Structure 1
């Protein structure tokens, strides 16, 4: 049975679809799009119940993201990225959670997690400096998660390296306008942010290694809901891959609408062309397979956590491999149908080209880089433990 939030998204789908053009033109989510996402409750799906959230099954979160992305890729992407942040915030110090949600449970949190800054230890916390790319939805957020390397006395990365996730209020960082000029996912507003010496109290930080496995962070935070015992590198990619799969579903739906009554330039109705119809069926099956495998993988990990069993590195790697493959399989299917949509499909007024662009830009995210993930899981299948960089993003 679909979660109430998923049903609300589906009920609002026509209105969300109507916001997509303005969102792309603005280079950030339109006010109406933000309003509808808040109304549906997508960003609160993984938020703890004591702060107005649902603490939902991650499968429900992925389905909500796909439902949004199916009608507006940029909005779905922001939901997929930003919707995971309440999950990690639940693992932080309760004092910080009260600061973020105490007066408004609909407060949004941005990121990115790439350690593009240095956090230098000082009394009571850290001083942070750096510039980060790709802060999706940042214009609509009041707080931000940032990845940072712990620095030494000279402000250089300490050895051995240690990565933190740190949290800042909006007043402590600068959003760089005009830093998001792209060909797809234009409306995500994934702008650069700069921090120049802001003080980060220690309680607003967490060791990224604690979050990676899930169990330790949940215990320290006193969170008993199963969802908070999940590993970071299954949860964070989930929202991003779900957005790409949802965008692919939107491309398929737009293709079907377009081809239903189309007549080819050389004559003949497309719905009577067996080659196009065959491509449609193959693409539909591939996209459906991506959805099924994505939901199955996160559900398997959730079941392990729910039963109190260990989620091993091999478990995580298998799910990550399949998440990556889901995205690439779905976008390849979009390519097959887009290539059979004729010249008019590339016109700006045809929404298929927007879905096509958004899908390809979604593959550019680091979590969809197949090489190291595939390398790692292949070694594991041979009984060989991956080392070093082959363990990254897993």
Structure 2
């Protein structure tokens, strides 16, 4: 766990909210949005401001602290943890923009929250010093609680030619939210579709993706280490903090159930905890959870060390972070699968929180950025020194 004082304090704040989140998990799922009681508690604890610059009253905490906080929250509610993690990574991205854009977001409202869809969508046309964008952007996690949005968009020239791929920072007041998030897992994230119709975005609120991938950010505050962190490694790692937390939450629930002394059905064991099969499965699940955590914290420490040094993270290290994050997703999912086998068919009753953790984990771990097959291929290519890669997102 984190050793820095700020990170330890923030993680303890998150741990103190686990009971509340766990108690509200069913309502969050049924309402298909994080309940306001959770949002208010998170805001009150300062957990939406983990990556907001200290200049605006934020914590400007480490990536490791962000991942540990989201993992703690994941023990209680996957949707709430995911929403919190995504809002924080969007605050981090906002802090990469020029100060003028940062001030428009956080200077006006230090508690402003930002959501995002990075997949390029819609159309754009050059207009003065900016772009006019239109289109639909699905899967905007946290959009129901955000005041701003980051949208992947082409950047075009006067003749309509594409010059770059950008991320446009747009007020939510200029967008419509289309209710499209109907899923079996992570229902509470409210990851609906954002719609823009001829929205003008000034140039200072468009981040160049090609430059960001090279670690070139337009923020003037180059002495702030957090905002020197490598782009894709940060984006990938934040997706699996909540997943590690969900696996930990499942392990806690099953261990507590076994401690209560329930029997092992259709056997002579009146207490399932006394069966070697129970002990072995529990140990295997715990080891998978530990493995996930070790990979996640290695990735976090690599990112933070790189940011502190000011150097650009080499391709091989960036590829390893992608591999680490995929490993966290896979091992967390495998751990929950074993825990469900251990707990039995009762895990799938609607009253049992394990089935929600399982559905949330199964959904979250399929995010394209944590695809194990893709991560394995790009890491293998990096290890072999093969220049041609399968994705620019490394």
> What is the SS of the residue equivalent to 2:254?
helix
Shift of 1:153: 6.2
Q: Does 1:123 align with 2:128?
A: yes
Residue 313 (structure 1) aligned to one of 312, 315, 319: 315
Structure-2 residue corresponding to 1:183: 184
2-structure distance, mates of 1:305, 1:93: 18
2-structure distance, mates of 1:379, 1:237: 18
2-structure distance, mates of 1:305, 1:143: 26
Structure-2 residue corresponding to 1:346: 348
2-structure distance, mates of 1:259, 1:354: 19
Query: Does the 8 A contact of 1:118 with 1:151 survive in 2?
Result: no
> After superposition, what is the alpha-carbon deviation per residue over 1:134-184, rounded to whole angstroms, capped at 9, x for unaligned?
1111111010000012246686xx45x62100011112110012x111101
1-structure distance, mates of 2:392, 2:275: 46
Query: Does the 8 A contact of 2:315 with 2:382 survive in 1?
Result: no
Structure-1 residue corresponding to 2:250: 251
Structure-2 residue corresponding to 1:372: 374
Shift of 1:263: 1.5
Q: Which moved more, 1:77-86 or 1:7-16?
A: 7-16
Q: Please give the TM-score of this superposition, normalised by the length of structure 2.
A: 0.94
Structure-1 residue corresponding to 2:33: 28
Aligned positions of 1:324-363 closer than 5 A: 324-363=326-365
2-structure distance, mates of 1:172, 1:221: 27
1-structure distance, mates of 2:284, 2:98: 48
> What is the SS of the residue equivalent to 1:334?
helix
Structure-2 residue corresponding to 1:293: 295
> After superposition, what is the alpha-carbon deviation per residue over 1:9-57, rounded to whole angstroms, capped at 9, x for unaligned?
1122212221211111110010001011112222211111001111111
Residue 43 (structure 1) aligned to one of 39, 48, 51: 48
Q: Does 1:133 align with 2:153?
A: no
Query: Does the 8 A contact of 1:184 with 1:357 survive in 2?
Result: yes
1-structure distance, mates of 2:129, 2:158: 15
Structure-2 residue corresponding to 1:83: 88
> What is the SS of the residue equivalent to 1:164?
strand
Structure-2 residue corresponding to 1:392: 392
Q: Does 1:211 align with 2:216?
A: no
Q: Does 1:108 align with 2:123?
A: no
Residue 57 (structure 2) aligned to one of 52, 61, 66: 52
Q: Which moved more, 1:359-368 or 1:99-108?
A: 99-108
- In the superposition, relative to structure 1, how do residues 225 and 153 fare at CA in structure 2: closer, same or farther (>3 Å)? closer
2-structure distance, mates of 1:124, 1:51: 27
Q: Tell me the C-alpha RMSD between the 2 structures.
A: 1.6
Aligned residue pairs, count:
386
2-structure distance, mates of 1:259, 1:285: 18
Aligned positions of 1:215-294 closer than 5 A: 216-217=216-217, 220-260=219-259, 261-267=261-267, 268=269, 269-294=271-296
Query: Does the 8 A contact of 1:213 with 1:230 survive in 2?
Result: no
Task: Could you tell me which runs of 5 or more consecutive residues in structure 2 were left unpaired when the two chains were aligned.
Answer: none
> After superposition, what is the alpha-carbon deviation per residue over 1:60-103, rounded to whole angstroms, capped at 9, x for unaligned?
11000000111111000111211101111111122222221123
Structure-1 residue corresponding to 2:304: 302
Query: Does the 8 A contact of 1:164 with 1:208 survive in 2?
Result: yes
Query: Does the 8 A contact of 2:230 with 2:312 survive in 1?
Result: no
2-structure distance, mates of 1:197, 1:123: 14
1-structure distance, mates of 2:57, 2:361: 32
> What is the SS of the residue equivalent to 2:342?
coil
